[in-house]
Amino acid sequence: MDMAVLASGYGSNLQAIVNAVQNGGISGRVAVVISDRKGAYALQRARDSGIEALFIDPREHERRDAYDKAILEILHNRRIHLVILAGFMRLLTASFVQEFKSRIMNIHPSLLPAFPGLDGVKQALAYGVKVSGCTVHFVDEGLDTGPIILQEAVPVCDKDTEESLHARIHKVEHRLYPRAIQLFIEGKLHLEGRRCLADEN
């Protein structure tokens, strides 16, 4: 199954996915990595792994729908089946989401529905929760509101800074995201309303 990863930044989740493809944990192929930031390290990681890396400049497509159309064209040309958001800092338009309905995943650094949107780790720390974590979910038209595929808790320590907590959450993300992707590829995810049931046997 051909997949596209959309990433705006450091790309450690992209790297975990690429590693899982290489070691057989994911039986698909990352065909293209797309970024809205020219200097995103994710693009470099893609190039280093021999994956097509594309920067699509938001300034050349000022309207959101024009930008999303440019990405959709790339995805269709490459017959992409699954779109993976890995630190992609833009909200997709409703028509993009419709075209890839239940075929777009995202990972978020909190236990949704708590602390959606920007700075999920910072929000959790500021609120004072004792347990946070990460969530892999399907993308719908809302902000981090789609059906939850997998979640895992990460304890918050009194000494935690945003950096130290995010680092522990990242470690879990790198395990959780490839697992969710492989469940999808194996056809083991079933949606019942907004519940996503995973047949892990």
Q: How far apart are the first and last CA of the chain?
A: 21
Give min distance, CB of 42 to ligand GRF, in A. Answer: 6
Contacts 24+ apart (CB under 8 A), 118-123: 121/162, 121/165, 121/166, 121/169, 122/162
Residue whose CB is less far from ligand GRF, 66 or 167:
167
Q: Which of 69/119 has CB closer to ligand GRF?
A: 119
CB of 128 to ligand GRF, least distance (A): 20
Closer residue to ligand GRF, CB minimum distance, 108 or 179: 108
Phi first, then psi: give them for residue 189, nearest 5 degrees. -100, 130
Q: For the CB of residue 117, give the shortest distance to ligand GRF in the complex, in Å.
A: 10
Task: Give the binding site for ligand GRF (CB under 6 A).
Answer: 7, 9-13, 86-87, 107-109, 134, 170, 173
CA atoms within 13 A on the CB side of 85: 28
Q: Catalytic residues, which ones?
A: 108
